[in-house]
Structure 1
Amino acid sequence: MRRAGVVAAGAAAVALAGTVPAGAVAPEADVSYHGFAALGEGRLGVWLVPANHGPADVSDATVRLRYSVALAPRQELPDGCLRSARRVVLCGTGELKAGERGEKVAVVVRLAGAPSQATVRIDTVWSGAAADRNPDNDRHQVLALDTGDSYVF
């Protein structure tokens, strides 16, 4: 429940590009994600833990999951997540204190058809207007084969 409504705010913030008033310096925060993905029986799951390496706190962030194959028309997404396009899901992370990990985000989607493999791209689309000078650790691309095996990122 804590993430309910947060994604909508995060998605709106994407449109605003996290603007900071003229002359102000954006706080710096280094958001990262670590976890795994698994594909089996037409379902692709992503389990991740966000972290903030600081130095500033992040009031909320929005992680984007982009899939290489279309999602089935109907999905049951967890609280705090929404489908924003045919192959895209957005999820709020909640507050990320500097130097701490956030709460686990777990998303399992049904894919259209029964692909033998699928790729999920993971990145941050909003981080509370904080500047992230190390975006490489919050951008991942994971290829999962339809074996049920976990692929770590």
Structure 2
Amino acid sequence: MSAAVAMAATGLWGAGSPAAARPVVPAVAPGLAPEADVSHHGHVSLWEDRLGVRLESANSGPWDLADVTVRLRFSAPLAGSQGLPQGCLRGGRSTVLCRMGPLPADGEIRRAALDLRLGSRPAEVVMRVDTVWSGGVRDRAPRNNEHEVLAPATGDAYAF
């Protein structure tokens, strides 16, 4: 069992407790759009045909988010069928979508760990990270949730 699978199995990197209460989203005055500040950070490692991704998502507010989904796109196609953490699914040959769950405005962190197999052994992979769903709430600072990171096949962790 890989370290990533072990961490996910023990809940150390799970996407949050399914029993967690949903945040209450206050009503918005007519003509105003609710705002939030979602951030995604973590690291990606590439070795042989394996790609490890550690992801942390948070919201600095001012509005609570009832649900957030992050998209991870890779420059190399993923191998056929493979296990993904709970809340994650394939979005195409080289895309994974992960439901991070509710993100309250207090900056509480949700974590996910992915241990992916690629369809080949590339010398490097580019990973693009972005938010695809936040319940229609406008992000006032999208630069901290949209990333592009190059991961050479060194096994080292490259941060985003």
TM-score by length of 1: 0.82
* Percent of residue pairs bearing the same amino acid type: 51
Q: CA deviation at 1:107?
A: 1.4
Q: CA deviation at 1:133?
A: 1.9
**CA RMSD across the alignment:** 2.0
Of residues 117, 125, 143 in structure 2, which corresponds to 1:118? Answer: 125
Q: Given the superposition, is the C-alpha separation of residues 115 and 80 from structure 1 closer, same or farther in structure 2, using an over 3 Å criterion? A: same
Can you give the 5+ residue segments of structure 1 that lack an aligned partner in the other structure? 4-22
Cα deviation digits, residues 125-147 of structure 1 (max 9, x gap): 11121110211110011111111
Name the residue aligned to 1:35.
42
Cα deviation digits, residues 81-136 of structure 1 (max 9, x gap): 00011111000111111022322111121111111110110000111211102111
Cα deviation digits, residues 9-54 of structure 1 (max 9, x gap): xxxxxxxxxxxxxx55331011001111101121111101101010
Name the residue aligned to 1:130.
137
Partners of 1:49 and 1:101 within 8 A in 2: no
TM-score by length of 2: 0.79
Name the residue aligned to 2:94.
87
Can you give the 5+ residue segments of structure 2 that lack an aligned partner in the other structure? 1-13, 17-29
Of residues 47, 52, 56 in structure 1, which corresponds to 2:54? Answer: 47
Name the residue aligned to 1:18.
none
Partners of 1:52 and 1:98 within 8 A in 2: yes
Q: Work out the CA distance in 1 between the residues paired with 2:43 and 2:15.
A: 23
| Structure 1 segments (4+ residues) deviating >2 Å | 23-26
Partners of 1:95 and 1:102 within 8 A in 2: no
Q: For 1:73, what is the secondary structure of its paired residue?
A: coil
